[in-house]
Amino acid sequence: MFQLTNKTAIVTGGGSGIGRAISKIFAMQGARVVILDLDQPGGEAVVQEILAEGGQAIFKPCNIALADQVERVVQEIVQSFGSISILVNNAGIAHIGNAENTTEADFDRLFQVNAKGVYNCLHAVLPTMKLAGGVILNMASVASSVGIPDRFAYSMTKGAVVGMTLSVAKDYLNYRIRCNSISPGRVHTPFVDGFIQKNYPGREQEMFDKLSKTQPIGRMAEPEEVAALALYLCSDEAAFITGCDYPIDGGFITLNN
């Protein structure tokens, strides 16, 4: 079950965190993984991990906020492998702030990466994917479903991701293209560790425990848990699923009231 043999999978932001875990589990299940990331050392390190474990992977440096870069990289992938079976729009950036103290520059920066970056990848991949069908998985967030303090711009972008997911699922049914999204709660990634270290020096463990306990289940998710859901949704076992957003949040949405 859950085999991706002979399928080419693009994973944006595959150089760390959730993207790294998705890239590794997809390769483990037989996919040819193409990691798109701005972090060249991180992306190349994940490729080396995959190759050492007997998988197939390559790294392509790419800024998903720039449409011409995305188009060029996607064409290179098609020329190398002939088709693209899976697109995982995972890359994204975070921001803290409400509607008053979020600057226009920050708002635009979040939109360019988290929303337009997803559009750029969809726009580049869909013409090729229409030829043989495929699967698209977008990374949303619980912030698209519930109000989270000081996450104005981030929540805006993740709401857009869910909207794009539903639209693509509807528009491309007849091309045998499925499109779903995942909405994680807090996930223990290097980004979280760096955020705590930067903003709460000397109180790292205290803040880690506090953030963990905001999930009703009592801890953050591990990237591999999100990756397991991604694998299912991109596998043939999920062939009857499209146009859905899947929370993986330790009960955050439904049990935090």
Cα 78 to Cα 4, 24, 214, distances in angstroms: 18, 21, 43
Give the integer Cα–Cα distance in Å for 169 and 230. Answer: 16
Strand arrangement of the beta sheet that strand 177-184 belongs to = 56-61, 32-37, 8-12, 86-89, 134-139, 177-184, 245-248
Q: Are 21 and 223 in contact (CB under 8 A)?
A: yes
Q: Are 107 and 70 in contact (CB under 8 A)?
A: no
Give the integer Cα–Cα distance in Å for 30 and 118. Answer: 25
Residue 201, token pair as written in the block: 């020096």
Give the integer Cα–Cα distance in Å for 154 and 121. Answer: 19
Q: Is the Cα dihedral 4, 10, 15, 20 positive or negative?
A: negative
Q: What is the DSSP letter of 55?
A: -
Between strands 86-89 and 8-12, the pairing is parallel
Number of Cβ atoms within 10 Å of the Cβ of 149: 7
Task: Give me the amino acid identity at 95.
Answer: H
Catalytically active residues are 154
Q: Is the Cα dihedral 159, 161, 164, 170 positive or negative?
A: negative
